[in-house]
Each structure stands twice: as structure tokens, then as C-alpha cells.
Amino acid sequence: MKAIAVRRGEETPSVLEKPRPDPAEGEALVRTLRVGVDGTDHEVIAGSHGGYPEGEDHIVLGHEAVGVVVDPNGTGLSAGDVVVPTVRRRPNGSNDYFARGEPDMAPEGFYHERGIDGAHGFMSEYFTSPAEHLVHCPPELAELGFLVEPASITEKAIEHARASRSAFEWDPESAFVLGNGSLGLLTVAMLQASFDRLYCLGRRDRPDPTIDIIDELGATYVDSRKTPVDEVPDVYEPMDFVYEATGYAKHAFETVEALAPNGVGALLGVPSDWKFEVDGGALHRELVLHNKALVGSVNSNVRHFERGVESVAALPEWFTDALVTGVYDLDEFERAFDDDDTTIKTAVEFGSR
């Protein structure tokens, strides 16, 4: 079967021929439909994040997949089930994080990440997976199921942010998404139902397809070149919830100033080291005197994927049409890895239902 992988020493993905995998006990065999591409894939390709599976000279890419079960192999699944695989897998033997269904909370050494770190991903015509790491999707989501993994990332961040505010009555009205990439836009769409006023940060000029989506979602576009994050309360309003999906570290600190009293900032970006000056006294004081919180969030578990399925199913068609700017067959898969201002979200198509 064909797979899209990056070889050790190379910095572009290529198509490899690999044997079709056989499901082990407890695993199902899945025929891949589509696999999305995101910033993490670009980091894996560049070698700046993740690592190769032990003993392998390549890693199959892809962690945002949707597929169809072709061999349930005695698991509770049925042939024809549309499924989305989760990303983290047991490295060797089990551990408490996996045993309680929370691999997203495991520290390094306690997990591999398929397509990212230590395990092959889903960009191949077939993949196998333990049934417990396959989340059911309604058949109507066969084409858009590759959005469930990114949606699950947001579900987890929202869950942890809300948990941090659960000791008191918190009725948030305003939310500010930092970043107009595909995850940022998806998050704005997902927050629509629960927030009265939405804002989304970017650094682009109109006309721009991401700003068009922000407008269409009824959110307010905030240009970070004109309005720094920490000035947003003065120019717009203080934000009950900030969702940071930029990886730009100054934004993480400015988030404290952007928040309304009792607000929470969910941080999701993964920046490199970067030293800069902050008014640490003012930030510390602001966190304390206004009961603010910052919550870091990485990865997601089955519970978040299940909610992600619901969230993706609820997205309006105009939105997914605008968000997904390209779905490419294997023979032009390179185009899925293009990253320019007209590209928002792409996927590689391996087959159809």
C-alpha cells in the first residue's frame, strides 16, 4: 500500500510502498479516507518536533484521520463503520494514564503520538488501531471527519478552561481566539453557540479568506498590528475567555491583560525558547486581584473526540466549504502541504466511502 512519509535526513514528504498492516488482537483494520494537514505536520517534516518510530528510517505522517473499518477483527466494531483514530498510543505496556482513558494527560515517556512522535501516522491506504482508540463517526462525516481531531483539541481546552472556573458561577459572554489559522477559525465556529461576542486575532490585510470567514461567523477581526492583545480591553472589551492558538509567546503573557476579571486563558501554542521583558509584577498582581487563570492544554482523549464529532457535525456547510481549501489525491499530495495565504485547511484523500 502507499503511504506518505518523511525519511530520516529528508525534509520533504514522499510516497512509500509499505506492506498493508495486519491487525493484532484487539485491533481493527481501517481503510483510510482522508487525513488532514496541520502545523504539527510541518514541524514533523522539518524535524523540529516529534521523532521517528524506534528502528525505523521514516515516519508515516498524519494524525488527523477518518477511515472506514474493513476488518473489525473480533472487536466490537463493524465493517463499514466510519471512525476517527485518536493520536496518543501506549509506548510499551500500559500505564495509568491510558488505563483511565486520559493519555492526553501523560507526560513524555508514557506515550507515542501517531504521525508525530515514535509511531507511524495515518497517511497510508490502510492503518490498524486498537478499537478503544477508534471513535465512531456518523457516515455523513466520512468526508469531514479529519476535522474531528483538531475539534477535539479545542474541546479539551474548553473543558479544562471551564473546569478552572467551576468553583464559582461563571457566565462568560466574550471570547477572543488568538490566531486565524485553521484551528483558530474552527474554534471561533465552535464557540459561536456558547458566547455572545467573539473576536479573532490575525495579522493580515483585507481582502483575506480567513477574515471573510471571521466576518461571516459574526466575529470581530482584531488586527494585532493595530491592536496588541493587551490593548484589546480598551479598544474592544475585556475577554471572559481567551484561546491562544498562535504559539507566539508574548501573546500568552498579554492574555492576562486581555482577560476580564474571573476570566481564563487557554494556551495551546508550542513556541521555542524566547527571552523578553514583561512587567511580571503587574501580570502577577492582575492574575491575583482579578481571580484570573491560565490553563495549558495539549492533545485530547476519546471523550474530547466524541464531543468533537458532535461539534464538526454541527458546523454549517458554508463554513467547512470555506475552511477546507483543498483535498488532494495521492498523486498530487504535495499540494496538501502548501502553506500560503490562500490555504486554510487541506487534506489528502486516500479513498471514499
Interface positions with a second copy (CB under 8 A): 100, 102, 104-105, 107, 159-160, 162-169, 247, 249-250, 252-253, 261-262, 267-298
- Residue 180 annotated in ligand binding: yes
Kindly state the smallest distance separating residue 169's Cβ from a second copy, in Å.
6
Beta 126-130 vs 118-119: how paired, if at all?
unpaired
Contacts within 8 Å (CB) and 24+ apart, 250-253:
250/276, 251/178, 251/201, 252/294, 253/278, 253/283
- Residue 181 annotated in ligand binding: yes
d(CA 330, CA 124): 10
Q: Which is nearer to a second copy, 129 or 297 (CB)?
A: 297
Grid coordinates belonging to 48: 523540529
- Residue 246 annotated in ligand binding: no
CA dist list (Å): 6 to 175, 193, 243, 343: 38, 39, 31, 22
User: 456547510: which residue's cell?
Assistant: 317
Kindly state the smallest distance separating residue 222's Cβ from a second copy, in Å.
20
The letter for the amino acid at 308 is G
Kindly state the smallest distance separating residue 279's Cβ from a second copy, in Å.
5
Check if the beta carbon of residue 296 is closer than 8 Å to that of residue 245.
no
- Residue 269 annotated in ligand binding: yes
Kindly state the smallest distance separating residue 292's Cβ from a second copy, in Å.
5
Q: Which is nearer to a second copy, 20 or 285 (CB)?
A: 285
- Cα-trace Rg, the chain: 20
- Residue 82 annotated in ligand binding: no
Phi and psi at 245, nearest 5°, equal -135, 45
Mention every residue, 6+ apart, whose C-beta is less than 8 A from residue 31.
Answer: 67, 68, 69, 70, 125, 126, 350, 351
- Residue 268 annotated in ligand binding: yes
Kindly state the smallest distance separating residue 252's Cβ from a second copy, in Å.
4
The letter for the amino acid at 140 is E
Q: Which is nearer to a second copy, 51 or 326 (CB)?
A: 51
Q: Which is nearer to a second copy, 99 or 235 (CB)?
A: 99
Q: Which is nearer to a second copy, 1 or 287 (CB)?
A: 287
Kindly state the smallest distance separating residue 344's Cβ from a second copy, in Å.
23
Kindly state the smallest distance separating residue 192's Cβ from a second copy, in Å.
22
Q: Which is nearer to a second copy, 24 or 167 (CB)?
A: 167
Q: Which is nearer to a second copy, 119 or 153 (CB)?
A: 153
Query: Distance between the two ends of the chain, CA-based, in angstroms?
Result: 18
- Residue 68 annotated in ligand binding: no
DSSP string, 164-232: HTTTS-----EEEEE--SHHHHHHHHHHTTT-SEEEEEE--PSS-HHHHHHHHTTPEEEETTTS-GGGH
Give the count of beta carbons closer than 10 Å to the beta carbon of residue 100. 10
- Residue 40 annotated in ligand binding: yes
- Residue 335 annotated in ligand binding: no
Binding site listing for substrate: 40, 113, 149, 299
Binding site listing for NADP(+): 180-183, 203-204, 268-270, 297-299
Binding site listing: 40, 113, 149, 180-183, 203-204, 268-270, 297-299
